[in-house]
Amino acid sequence: MQKLVLSIIIFLLPLLIFAQNNEADQILGEWLNEEKDEKIEIYKTGNSYFGKVTWAANLLEADGQTSKKDGKNPDEKHKGRNLIDATILNNFAFTNGLWDRGTLYDSKSGKTYSCIIKMKNKKLEIRSYVGVSLFGKSTYWERLE
């Protein structure tokens, strides 16, 4: 009887781990922000999740070819970086059905916010805040097919 129980546990443990990863990885892919003026690709590095801008309505300079720079960034070393492929979601960890302990960088204001991400009705609820999430703001992103 003990061998049977042990065999079942050994068989089910990898399935539980795999199911956890599948749930966590449902965030991966390309998303359109609520204003529909940016596309963000969410990807995974190790056990952390990140997101970078792959397209934006006003991403190019007047010449139509040169990427705008991150001029509002308070970090001097980032002011010269291109906004195309700029990472705006940083270091999210999946725990109990949500992605948290990460930050959201807003290139329009140059500010970085604490952030929690939840999957809600096939959309991402992006809750950004300073201090306490209760006083934050939520936006909703749609998956691009």
pLDDT tens string 89-120: 999 999 999 999 999 999 999 999 999 999 99
Question: What pLDDT does 45 receive?
Answer: 97
Which is more confident, 10 or 106?
106
Which CATH number does 27-143 carry? 2.40.128.520
Predicted confidence (pLDDT) at residue 53 exceeds the cutoff of 50: yes
pLDDT > 90: what percent of the chain? 70
Report the range of poorest mean pLDDT among 6-20, 45-59, 61-75.
6-20
Determine phi and psi for 135, rounding to 5 degrees. -100, 20
**Rounded CA separation 71/63 (Å):** 18
Which residues, in sequence order, are CB contacts of 3 under 8 Å at separation 6+?
none
Cα angle 35, 36, 41; round to 5:
115
